[in-house]
Structure 1
Amino acid sequence: MRYRDQPSIEVTQRVHCDVATAWRYVTDITVPARCSAELQSVEWLDGADRVRVGARFRGRNKNDAIGVWETVCEVAEVEDERRWVWNVLGHEGAIASWGFEVEPTGDGVLIRQWARMGPGPSGLNIAITAQPDKEARIVARRLAEWQQNMQANLDWIRSQVEGVE
């Protein structure tokens, strides 16, 4: 697994609610900060207050292996009540893309959160450059961290909507 191949990860959760309810949760940018072991806080920037193309927000992160850092993200796509995507911005463009999708089902919705690394270099590239022979392991470990946090997001949304723990 190579960073330059823009690896991705996806988590899906079936939730018993309507599309509008699911959409309200997945477009609340503070949800991941409530659930993530890494994302500490999120705030809208430049007067933005909702998910719309071009809106920007800042995330503050902390990871024992990586340290403390901030990112600025920009909403890149919005299909109302269906899908929204944001890019994490770096010095050379997007260093990652993230998204939420809501798909109606017969008994509720399917909520999907996904993330893709790159194409621009990120802090992960420092570790890869220092240990190029371990690139696959470094990338896989980071994807596993993302997956764990995304699963926590979707489990929390389900608990809020369905009242289950």
Structure 2
Amino acid sequence: MRIPRFPEPAATGSVTIHATAAQAYAVISDPTAMARFAEETYRARWLDGGTHAVVGARFQGWNRNGLRRWATRCRVTDAAATQRFAYEVTVTPLDVPISRWQYDIAPAEQGCAITETNWIRVPLWFVPVAILVTGVRNRMGANGAHIGTTLERLKAHLEAVPSPRP
């Protein structure tokens, strides 16, 4: 199956958080924790005995939009502590590519800046199926809005956690 590669991101957003890069990475690289902040994903679990982010680790995510529910499988592609966490998303049982999600962490004057980026990877033939399953016609617009929501929730969570003392 040919996997389309769109060089430009479908959606991106950034936020500056008053937390260390290590604190941010600890949450971002744990899909089971990030599910609390996401708009569509409501649950995740590591697969194959995995317990943390390493390149090649896999996890499953459960998503929702209203009454619609669907699951995806994800494979970690980048796991650079305090710098980047990224994964590729597929849908089973056909292992159809869906998207790539990436979180970049950079130092900021008072904490760190987090940029969340999404690329669409879904083959054109699968788009009508994805719309039927998810109920989302404008996936790029929805992902852009979801990124904003996720980052604001993540910021609120991390800024509520006491920072370590120097």
Q: Give the TM-score band, short-chain normalised.
A: 0.7 to 0.9
Counterpart residue type for residue 21 of structure 2: V
Tell me, in whole angstroms, the C-alpha distance in 2 between the residues paired with 1:31 and 1:147: 20
Cα offsets for 1:74-98 (capped at 9, x unmatched): 0012222101110002436532111
Q: 1:50 to 1:121 in 2, by over 3 A?
A: farther
Counterpart residue type for residue 28 of structure 2: V
2:71 equivalent to 1:70: yes
Q: 1:80 to 1:122 in 2, by over 3 A?
A: farther
Structure 2 SS opposite 1:46: coil
TM (normalized to structure 2)?
0.78
Identity %: 25
Cα offsets for 1:112-142 (capped at 9, x unmatched): 11110015458534378xxxxxxxx94xx21
Q: Contact 2:22–2:81 at 8 Å: present in 1 too? A: no
Tell me, in whole angstroms, the C-alpha distance in 2 between the residues paired with 1:113 and 1:12: 6
Counterpart residue type for residue 114 of structure 1: T
More helix by share: 1
Structure 2 SS opposite 1:148: helix
Structure 1 SS opposite 2:31: coil
Match in the other structure for 2:102: 99
Structure 2: stretches of 5+ with no match in the other structure: 162-166
Structure 1 SS opposite 2:144: helix
What is the RMSD computed on CA atoms of the aligned residues? 2.7
TM (normalized to structure 1)?
0.78
Of 30, 44, 58, 1:42 maps to 44
Cα offsets for 1:39-94 (capped at 9, x unmatched): 121010000010101100001112248x3211110001222210111000243653
Aligned pair count reads 151
Q: 1:17 to 1:51 in 2, by over 3 A?
A: same
Structure 1: stretches of 5+ with no match in the other structure: 129-136
